[in-house]
A and B are shown apart, each in its own frame.
Chain A
Amino acid sequence: MTFSSKSKYLFLAFCLLPTFLLFIIFTVYPMLGGLYYSFFDWSGTSANKTFIGLDNYIRLWNDSIIKKAIINDFFFVFVKVIGIMTLALFFAVALTQLKIKEAPFYRIVFFFPNIMSVVVIGILWQFIYDPNMGIVNSLLNQVGLTEWARPWLGDKTWVLPSIAIPAIWAGIGLFMLLIMGGISNVPKSLYEAADIDGASEWQQFWHITVPLVWPQIKTSILYIIITSLNGSFVLVQVMTGGGPGSASEVMGSYLYQRAFEDFQFGYGAAIGVLILVVSLITVLVSQFILKKEKVEY
């Protein structure tokens, strides 16, 4: 820029400062605050705030529900990554490579759950699983599998998979689009050459599509991991509130219950720090596992 340096800096300050100040107040301060509050025993009023050092973390370590919640969180991460990526990849390939006339229809429909709120999805699926009027049980009864019908969300073994299914249902559209974007950038000539060489569609998939859309696949997997660890509790809280017992508790729903239902804000903040630590470690480890040089032919 060719303006005098004073007016240039004034302009830069005009552009950057207001947003950054608000960002400090409403994003940075709360996050550092979360760390700070985790060292206190605090019920929300300033009179009842005492510094207790690492006691909240020691309590975390001994809390059996936390262990259960971490395991459940990783169950969701694992099932969602496998379920969403398998289906999203398959649909993305089918809709871009196989010359299906009505592809735009599927593309639009598969994205529908992505634009619905988690509350709506949660309530809708609660109905689908409802023991009396739900689709699942009445379908099982109609095909004669009456003994399979059960209160899905009230059953300790089945509650987690039952919540994972709507999570996958709601996740596919976005990642399908991302991968479709990747596939559309793969030069057509590669597939034509492979056709001439007699490579089967399956071989083309593994040797051309997967390596070339690997950046999108990797981004999608990491994104699923992050959003699952940071956000799958919304669906849990809406559908079961962590129940039955604590069978479907995840870290986020446990934080909400401790902090905003039991007013143990210090302990809640410590759970928040735990979520941060767990998700950072998971992302770093997964990044290491998924590391693969970008392929260019």
Chain B
Amino acid sequence: MKVVSQILVRIPLILWAFIVIFPLIWMFMGAFKSNAEIFTSPWSFPTDFSFTNFERAWNDYNIGRAFLNSFFVTVLGSFLTIILSIPTAYALERVRSKFGEVLINVYLASMMIPSVLGWIPLFFLLMKLNLLDNLWALSLVYAISHVPFTIFILVGFIGNIPKELEEAAVVDGMSPYGILFKIVTPLIKTGIITVTILNAISYWNEFFMALILLQTESKNTLGVAMNLLKIDAQYDSAWGVLFAGLCIAVIPVIIFYSFFQRHIVKGMTEGAIK
């Protein structure tokens, strides 16, 4: 009886694992195939593993440039998010006041409001400031858009630090700035890492704001470049190249995730979001 139920419960698990993995394998194999091969034998292994498709995607279809742009935006955006969120999270957690309550609710409420609503004014604001088509500005916009979520997570982690540590530091004559940067920040390292991983993944994958706020091909990030590659591939029927482009966009995140998945799971299950 136990054996039967053990097998029965595995059927949906294996089936779903297959449904998740199969498209990825199919994409990966397609990246090594020629057009003719993709049409005639979509199910088989590629006959020879040539990297032509990857080279063409990287060089001829702007994916290389876009890869570097995405990397830049992801790193700068994640860094800015943390820099902007730690001091606010600390002040809001430690100095409880009416004003602080209002502020924290404003940040939380903004997470409920669809960002689409703000895109048109944001576009014209950046146009006025001459910041359209600017990767630094895009990073800043990304960072601000994730500041409320990041503050929300970090407040939880700061709340777990015993107050005595800070009080002892005050007795030793440490300034509040010193306490914030030398004592509190190192102690919430786990929280910072977890939230930064989540932020970085969503900046790497972001598409629509980049589509609206970037304009020249040399500035495009991966999402926008992939969307253009898709349109080009339809005209050139460069399907193998498109598959290769998809791989270039996905593989770094999968590797990154495999390294850090423990942190994500931990942050997700241990108190961060409840």
User: Chain A residues in contact with chain B, CB under 8 A?
Assistant: 1-3, 7-8, 11-12, 14-16, 18-20, 22-23, 25-37, 44, 87, 90-91, 94-95, 98, 100, 105-113, 115-120, 123-128, 132-133, 135, 138, 169, 172, 174, 177-178, 180-181, 184, 215-216, 219, 226, 229-230, 233-234, 237-238, 252, 255-256, 259-260, 265, 268-269, 272-273, 275-276, 279-280, 283
Contacts and interface: CB of A to CB of B under 8 A. Distances in A.
B110 interface: yes
Q: Which 6 A-B pairs have the closest CB atoms?
A: A33-B121, A30-B118, A117-B205, A181-B269, A15-B87, A15-B91
B9 A98 contact: yes
A92 B226 CA distance: 33
A136 to B, nearest CB: 11
B3 interface: no
Interface in B90-134: 90-92, 94-95, 103, 107, 110, 112-125
Interface stretch (B48-56, B57-65, B246-254): B246-254
22 contacts: A7-B176, A15-B180, A19-B85, A22-B84, A22-B147, A26-B125, A28-B110, A29-B121, A33-B121, A91-B16, A94-B9, A98-B6, A106-B16, A112-B24, A117-B204, A123-B230, A181-B273, A233-B116, A252-B114, A255-B116, A265-B120, A272-B114
Contacts of B265: 107, 177
B15 to A, nearest CB: 11
Given A22-B84, A237-B208, 18 more contacts: A7-B176, A22-B144, A30-B119, A33-B122, A37-B120, A98-B9, A100-B10, A105-B17, A109-B17, A115-B253, A117-B249, A119-B207, A125-B23, A135-B22, A181-B269, A260-B212, A275-B117, A279-B112
Given A22-B140, A119-B223, A273-B117, A181 B268 contact: yes
B84 A116 contact: no
Interface in B65-88: 84-85, 87-88
Interface string B13-37: 1001101111110110010000000
A90 B12 contact: yes
B13 A31 contact: no
Nearest to A269: B120
Which has the most chain A C-beta neighbours within 10 Å: B21, B112, B114, B227? B114
Contacts of A180: 269
Contacts of A36: 121
A249 B250 CA distance: 27
A15 B88 contact: yes
A231 to B, nearest CB: 8
B87 A252 contact: no
Contact of A184 (B84, B253, B269): B269
Contacts of A8: 176
A229 B85 CA distance: 27
Which has the most chain B C-beta neighbours within 10 Å: A19, A22, A124, A135? A19
Contact of B257 (A22, A100, A115): A115
B180 to A, nearest CB: 7
B13 A106 contact: yes
Q: Is the interface of A mostly helix, strand, loop or mixed?
A: helix
A22 B223 CA distance: 26
B270 A181 contact: yes
Contacts of B90: 15
B235 interface: no
Given A117-B249, A229-B114, A19 B147 contact: yes
Contact of B120 (A107, A133, A272): A272
Contacts of A177: 264-265, 268-269
Contacts of A20: 88, 103
A123 to B, nearest CB: 5
Given A27-B144, A94-B13, A118-B207, A1 B176 contact: yes
A154 B119 CA distance: 29
A116 to B, nearest CB: 6
A98 B242 CA distance: 41
Contacts of A169: 19-20
Contact of A27 (B43, B145, B222, B246): B145
B215 to A, nearest CB: 11
B157 interface: no
B26 A135 contact: yes
A33 B125 CA distance: 10
